[in-house]
A and B are shown apart, each in its own frame.
Chain A
Amino acid sequence: MKKQLFLLLPLLAFLAVGVFFYSALFSDPRELESALVGKPVPEFELPNLLEPNQTVSQQAFGDGPYLLNVWATWCPTCRAEHEYLNTLAAQGVKIIGLNYKDEPAKARMWLAQLGDPYVLNVMDYEGTLAIDLGVYGAPETFIVDSNGMILYRHVGDVNARVWQAKLADIYRQAGGL
């Protein structure tokens, strides 16, 4: 009896490895957890996209919770999510934009044509604030609480599915909506 159990070991090992690799098939290796979760939004001083003469810092973001959305006109997925950001803004979700390494003129035109869901847009032409935030692509969306702490980072577009499944709960728990 003992020996028979021993013979089952390779099968068990195979099953364990199988389950591990099977689950890995459905995980997205590009979704990295942000190193900034639980930390405050980094300090910065950058121009306001819509009024380039005006310099803004994180004080200008006002009270949280809010979404900090990294976007650019060169990013097709940003265009895909823009409509849904408009919907969220209409529902009263506070969204702040970080225009990432973009042509300011193009960005302003984009907002004029597609609608402007943002309370405020920071122009990060050099990508310095983006590096401080650990941004590695666009779009990325951070949820920031009322103390200015980063609660969550979502990589990829924000759509109805992602919002319902993950972001809405975190945003509501932080006191939003």
Chain B
Amino acid sequence: MTAMIQTLLLVVGLAYSAVSFATIDAYPFDDNAKENQFRELINELRCPKCQNQTISDSDAGLAKDLKDKTYEMVQQGATKDQVIDYMVQRYGNFVHYQPPVQQTTWVLWFGPFVFLAVALLAVVLVIRKKQPAKAQPQLSETEQQRLQQLLKKDDSPS
């Protein structure tokens, strides 16, 4: 079993390294920092043509053009923000996988917390309502006596 998992991990690891080498190889860098920045960018920028792929994942022609452009800008010393701004100015916020916090994205950013708050409130309300029902109903004096009688009756041999 362990051997199987190890093999699996090895295969996954090899596949992954092959992919990342393939994307980087076509774009040679002398500077490690720039290479890291480039790698970060192409994994954060979304291909407008292919919707749910980064430009690093996508094989579309446009993704290659955008990678080339990113490479060119990074090589010329552009900061990460400058490259992202460049892309957003042309393709809109869609092109970046980290949408900015603004009025149109409030639902996206804060919606989950609102849902969580509503759910917690509902849980609290339900629990509070149920508690009194759980308490043992008190028996009146006559009921107590009757209870004792019944218990005694049960004890006596039949």
Contact = CB atoms under 8 A, between A and B. Distances in A.
Contacts of A136: 48-49, 62, 91
Contacts of B66: 131
Contact of B92 (A29, A34, A101): A34
B89 interface: yes
B51 interface: yes
A48 to B, nearest CB: 22
Interface size of B as a range: 10 to 19
A112 interface: no
A90 interface: no
Interface size of A as a range: 10 to 19
Contacts of A34: 92
A170 to B, nearest CB: 19
Nearest to A134: B90
Contacts of B94: 32
Contacts of A137: 49, 62
Report which residue of A29, A134, A137 has the largest number of chain B beta carbons within 10 angstroms of its beta carbon.
Answer: A134
Nearest to A34: B92
A108 B140 CA distance: 102
A134 B61 contact: no
A35 B51 contact: no
A35 B65 contact: no
Interface of A: 29-30, 32-36, 101, 127, 131-134, 136-137
